[in-house]
A and B are shown apart, each in its own frame.
Chain A
Amino acid sequence: MTFNSWEFILFYPIVLLLYFVLPKAAKWPMLLLASYFFYMCYQPELVFLILGTTLVSWAMSNVIEKSEKTRYKKLALALTLISSLGVLFFYKYFDFLSGTVFDIAAHFGYKGNSFALKLMLPVGISFYTFQTLSYVIDVYRGEVKTEKNFFFYALFVSFFPQLVAGPIERPGNLIPQLKEEHKWSNSNAIAGAKMLILGFFKKICVADLLSGVVNSVYNNPEEASAIGVIIATVLFAVQIYCDFSGYTDIAIGCARIMGIRLMKNFDRPYSSASIKEFWSRWHISLSAWFRDYLYIPLGGNRVKKWRNLLNLFVVFLISGLWHGAAWTFVLWGALHGIYQIVGKLTIKPRNNLIQKLGKSENSKSVLIIRRAITFILVDAAWLLFRANSIGDAGILIKRLFVGWNVGFAEAFQDMGLSLEFILLAIFSLVILFFLDKIITYDTLDGNPDATLKNGAFVYFVWAIVIVWCLLLSKDMISTFIYFQF
């Protein structure tokens, strides 16, 4: 049951109705049941995994809080880390590691068969594992008190809007809100409905619409032209943003109608003027998680310069691996790590250059150039992220140098782009550009109506319905990209 499915369109209003009709004592058990039902619609056989992870992390957090000896606290924390990350490794990375080991052995003459478990990847495992880890670590640090009621804690882990693709919530933000009694509020309902509409618009009218073009190039790299690769990679940057931020908007909207505020996960990432800024605007909950639970414990920027650079690289390498068990993701993470290192090392010469040109660091022209460069760097890295394999990524990069024998018109034809489709893509990009300026997470509580009249959202619903019908007729409805992580 994905957000863009008929099942969810039936499921959500029922949950909402029950949530506001039931008495306070019955609200959260209903939400817990609904969340587990939501999860079991994906993979009923793997529900024991989320249940087990929840149980272990809850029990260990209680041990940490109750024990007086630091040794026991450390032991409980270590057990949680080993069990949670162990399950994650087993399901997500075992085949990748065994395949890599086999490839290396084969390189040295070993002629056996590779050993792969070929297990189904549990939906949202990376998200809920990180959420439970943040809870146990916060309890260990004394920043959060343990939740005495196991079922309440289970709701924090499995709360259905953010269960399968985040935002990765912190206990301090979500648990108190789940305990409060929320009554129907028109302002929450309007704000939530707007986020829902925006999320669906991003997913259906932009991401799904562009996915066909992107797939046509990335699934046939050998036949791609240089222009085709460039267009597909730029469109993929838009597709993945709309796909993931669209999911987040729907999650935030669903929770908001119930009166629960999930954290911000995106903040116009492509308007960033540096890679560092990009990571403070893209998948904010994951970046913050890595900062608080990996980068700072590794020493952050309180260590020597070379160590700090190494820490940065390690964090981004692991972030790449978090996204998927494939070398494309590892290289993508490593490339972002290198961007950060080069960015840090070249701050002074870059500032000197700007001063020599007689410009200020924040002048408009400098900002435009910095934004353009940042987008190009991020987009170049997306090529690795989207490529089906390292081999395909190599072919696509090669095509960028040798595939210039095809003109724009021919490239468009090869990608199956008709005039109508090009117009549709241009319109959706224009809408997205202005939409991101008008309605953001931060302006949701303000008065966005000053720019967009309430009735105007009917236009959006209209556009969503029509494009949805179009995609359905062409069998182009797809699941969310981040579900695979």
Chain B
Amino acid sequence: MVFYTNPWACIIFALILALHAASAFLKPIFSKLCVYVNICLHIALFVLLLFIGAEMLELAVLFMGSLAFYISVSYLSKKLCERLSDREDKS
């Protein structure tokens, strides 16, 4: 894997993960904004990785990793919200 040898690629990937987490917890309008910014970051990362000579397998690992993180955070935030609203209902 060559992606971690390039600091810019690492920064963009960390930003992608941070925006995934943010989009799961923020209000809808900000969340949507996060999603659009994140899509742009994915494209930027894709171009950068191709530029530094990453293989298709590495690209697939990073993008699937990003998706796995996104979907798990989305699910956990949903569960968390449900629990909080349950607690509010009870109190």
Contact = CB atoms under 8 A, between A and B. Distances in A.
Interface of A: 205, 418, 420-421, 423-424, 426-428, 430-431, 434-435, 437-438, 450-453, 455-456, 458-460, 462-463, 466-467, 469-470, 473
B48 interface: no
Given A430-B68, A455-B36, A420 B57 contact: yes
A455 B61 contact: no
A431 B35 contact: no
B56 A469 contact: yes
A424 B71 contact: no
A462 B59 CA distance: 11
Interface of B is mostly: helix
A470 B74 contact: no
A467 B67 CA distance: 12
Given A430-B68, A455-B32, A467-B64, A421 B74 contact: no
A402 B74 CA distance: 44
B61 A427 contact: yes
Contacts of B1: 420
A455 B58 CA distance: 24
Nearest to A437: B75
A431 B64 contact: yes
A474 to B, nearest CB: 9
A435 B68 CA distance: 10
B57 A421 contact: yes
Nearest to B23: A453
B63 interface: yes
Given A463-B64, A466-B63, A430 B72 contact: yes
Nearest to B57: A420
B67 A466 contact: no
A470 B78 contact: no
B75 to A, nearest CB: 5
Interface of B: 1, 23, 31-32, 35-36, 39, 42, 46, 56-61, 63-68, 70-72, 74-75, 78
A450 B81 CA distance: 11
Nearest to A459: B67
B75 A434 contact: yes
Contacts of B56: 466, 469-470, 473
Contact of B35 (A205, A455, A463): A455
Contact of B68 (A431, A450, A462): A431
B66 A424 contact: no
A381 B77 CA distance: 37
Contacts of A437: 75
Contacts of A418: 57
Given A420-B61, A466-B56, A467-B60, A427 B67 contact: yes
Nearest to A460: B67
A462 B74 contact: no
Given A420-B1, A451-B78, A455-B36, A466 B59 contact: yes
B31 A205 contact: no
A466 B56 CA distance: 7
A470 B54 CA distance: 12
A426 to B, nearest CB: 8
Given A430-B72, A438-B74, A458-B35, 18 more contacts: A424-B64, A438-B75, A452-B71, A452-B74, A453-B32, A455-B32, A455-B35, A459-B63, A459-B67, A459-B70, A460-B67, A462-B39, A462-B63, A463-B60, A466-B56, A466-B60, A470-B60, A473-B56
Given A434-B72, A438-B74, A438-B75, A420 B31 contact: no
Contacts of A459: 39, 42, 63, 66-67, 70
Given A420-B57, A458-B39, A427 B65 contact: yes
A456 B70 CA distance: 9
Contacts of A423: 61, 65
B5 to A, nearest CB: 15
A470 B57 contact: yes
B59 A453 contact: no
4 nearest CB pairs, A to B: A455-B35, A427-B64, A427-B68, A430-B68
Contacts of A455: 32, 35-36, 39
A436 to B, nearest CB: 11
A386 B79 CA distance: 37
Contact of B61 (A424, A434, A460): A424
Nearest to B76: A434
Nearest to A435: B71
A375 B82 CA distance: 29
A463 to B, nearest CB: 5
B36 to A, nearest CB: 6
Contacts of A434: 71-72, 74-75
Chain A CB within 10 A, most for which of B35, B36, B58, B68: B68
Nearest to B33: A455
B17 to A, nearest CB: 12
Nearest to B78: A451
Nearest to A469: B56
